[in-house]
Amino acid sequence: MPTSDTTHTDHDGLFKELIRTFTFEFIALFAPKLAQDLVPNSFEFLDKELIQLLDLGERKEVDLLIKCRKKAKEVFFLIHIEPQADSRKWSSERMFLYTMRIFERHRLPIYPMALLTWDTPKKPAEDQFGFSFSDLDVLSFRFRTIQLNRINWRTFLMQDNPVAAALMSKMQIPKAERPQVKVELMRMLATLRLNPTKSALIYQFMINYIRLNAEEEQKAQETIKKILPPEIQEQAMIITNEWIEKGLEKGKLLAQRTTNLRLISRRFGEAAATAYRPLIESLTPSESDQFFDVALFFTSEADLESWFSTRSAPE
């Protein structure tokens, strides 16, 4: 079974990749009424754009900015999703500032969502920002807050939703129920019948955030054999022993490519990232690592061109 070193896990990137892969499923899980109004295949990711945070004097990449379309009419709007693992870096005021900067640039309606993934604190996070005077309510800004450590893992258990399967590993889990979480995750993966890469992406959440000890693992395996039908057990074994091994490798390469494209976009713009995407996607895993190590020091697109020319030059 594959292992994971959480010390080197790109936690923020893992959550972003989940939402990128299962965008409609994410919205359907946490904003079902909104999902009913959307055209499922109309998503366009604009998260490469930067906004100027005037109060902090720094530039920040919008975590996930998605443009989509409603069914009833040709109206586009934006969904701002901000995964945050560190409660100290997040505030309702910052959500307001991000949203207003996005509106200032695009002049489109915005549905703001904050996906909060921290373990502590467990007190309810804010879902609004505003101020008023005795004779005037000046500002009332609301947004949807999804605080995983306040959601019981069983809440979405009966939904056949891959996002629910992944995120329940970060939800509220009593210690005694940790083995049961793995059992249900394997059941959900087996019944969802996703491709290897998507299964691997979901499985990574469990091996990163539900690291069972030997006793818990034994209990989970015993429960799987006891309560799951034979066909589900067989599918679970396929996922664990074959799909995940192969899928994780593909997932790692996909993550490498995404990181490299993001690096190019940040330094030289979205047009450069688009132009070099075919070359980035042609790199082997080792070449992707090598590219990232040197691209950190590139100062112009000429450096990009030179690196790829050298790589493709005959020996």
State residue 53's pLDDT score.
Answer: 41
Q: Give the bridge partners for 64, in sequence order.
A: 81
CA distance 146 to 163: 13
State residue 2's pLDDT score.
Answer: 39
State residue 70's pLDDT score.
Answer: 85
State residue 83's pLDDT score.
Answer: 79
> 138 or 217: which carries more pLDDT confidence?
138
Identify the DSSP state of 152.
B
H/E segment holding residue 137: strand 136-142
Asked whether 151 and 179 are in contact (CB, 8 A), the reply is: no
State residue 312's pLDDT score.
Answer: 56
How does residue 67 score in pLDDT terms, banded at 50, 70 and 90?
A: confident
CA distance 69 to 88: 34
Mean predicted confidence (pLDDT) in 13-39: 91
The residues near 140 (Cβ < 8 Å, ≥ 6 apart) are 128, 130, 132
Span 272-290, pLDDT tens digits: 888 888 888 888 878 888 8
Sign of the torsion formed by the C-alpha atoms of 230, 169, 151 and 95: negative
Residue 127 pLDDT greater than 90, yes or no? yes
pTM as predicted = 0.72
How does residue 47 score in pLDDT terms, banded at 50, 70 and 90?
A: low
Percentage above 70 pLDDT, the chain: 83
> 24 or 225: which carries more pLDDT confidence?
24
